[in-house]
C-alpha cells in the first residue's frame, strides 16, 4: 500500500490549485486506482501485480498533475475573463 501512498503524494505535490479542489481530485485518483485494481483482481490477476498494473495504467504523477493543472488553470482563466467582461467596455 506504500506504493499508492507514494504515488498520490507525488501527484498532490505537483498540483497547483486550492486545497479543496486538490482533495477532491486526489479522491478521484484513488477511486480510479481502486476500480482498476478490482477489475484486475476479478479477472484473476494476483493482488501485487494488480496494484502495480493499476499504477502503470494511471500514468506518471507528473503527467497526471500536469493535465489537471492545465484544465484547472484554463478554467480559472476563462472564469476570470468572463468576470472581467462587464468592466472592459
Q: How confident is the model at residue 78 (pLDDT cuts 50, 70, 90)?
A: low
For residue 69, the model assigns a pLDDT of 84
Q: Taking all residues of the chain, what is their mean pLDDT, rounded to a whole number? A: 85
Q: How confident is the model at residue 80 (pLDDT cuts 50, 70, 90)?
A: very low
For residue 2, the model assigns a pLDDT of 85
Residues 57 and 36: their CA atoms lie apart, in Å, by 8
> How confident is the model over 35-57, as a mean pLDDT?
97
If one counts the domains in the chain, the total is: 1
Residues 3 and 8: their CA atoms lie apart, in Å, by 9
Which domain does 72 fall in, by range? 2-88
pLDDT digits (tens, 9 = 90+) for 10-32: 999 998 988 988 999 899 999 99
Amino acid at each position: 500500500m506504500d506504493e499508492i501512498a507514494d504515488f498520490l503524494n507525488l501527484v498532490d505535490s505537483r498540483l497547483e490549485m486550492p486545497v479543496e479542489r486538490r482533495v477532491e481530485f486526489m479522491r478521484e485518483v484513488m477511486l480510479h486506482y481502486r476500480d482498476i485494481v478490482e477489475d484486475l483482481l476479478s479477472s484473476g490477476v494476483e493482488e501485487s501485480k494488480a496494484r502495480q498494473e493499476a499504477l502503470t495504467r494511471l500514468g506518471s504523477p507528473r503527467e497526471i498533475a500536469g493535465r489537471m493543472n492545465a484544465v484547472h488553470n484554463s478554467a480559472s482563466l476563462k472564469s476570470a475573463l468572463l468576470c472581467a467582461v462587464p468592466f472592459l467596455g
